[in-house]
Amino acid sequence: MSAENDHARLIRLFVPQEQPAAAQLCELSERQAHYLRNVMRCAVGDRLRVFDGTSGEWLAEIKEVSKKKALISFVEQIREQVNSPDIYVLASPVKKEAFDFMIEKASELGAKAFQPIACARTVIQRVNEDRLQALAVESAEQCERLDVMRILPLKTLKDFLNSMPLDKKLIFCIERTQAPMILPRLQEAETKLPLAVLIGPEGGFTPEEAEMVAAMPQAIPVSLGPRILRAETALAAALTCVQATIGDWPVK
Binding site for ligand SAM (CB under 6 A): 173-176, 199-200, 202-205, 223-225, 227-231, 234
* Cβ nearer to ligand SAM, comparing 75 with 229: 229
Of 35, 24, 41, 43, whose CA–CA distance to 68 is shortest? 35
Q: Which one, 7 or 230, has the nearer CB to ligand SAM?
A: 230
Q: How far is the CB of 240 from ligand SAM (least distance, A)?
A: 13
Minimal distance, residue 214 CB to ligand SAM, in Å? 13
Angle at 179 between CA 178 and CA 184, to 5 degrees: 130
Question: Closer CB to ligand SAM, residue 70 or residue 238?
Answer: 238
- Of 57, 55, 56, which Cα lies nearest the Cα of 11? 57
Are the CB atoms for 89 and 196 separated by under 8 Å? Answer: yes
Residue 72 or 182 having the CB closest to ligand SAM:
182
Q: Which residue is nearest to ligand SAM (CB)?
A: 200
Smallest distance, ligand SAM to C-beta of residue 3, A: 42
Q: Taken in order 156, 161, 164, 169, is the CA torsion positive or negative?
A: positive
CB of 236 to ligand SAM, least distance (A): 11
Nearer to ligand SAM, 111 or 199 (CB): 199
Close Cβ partners of 42 (under 8 Å, ≥ 6 residues apart): 11, 36, 48, 62, 65
Instruction: Output the smallest distance, CB 233 to ligand SAM, in A.
Output: 7
DSSP for 154-187, please give it: PEEHHHHHHT--TTSEEEEE-SSS-PPBHHHHHH
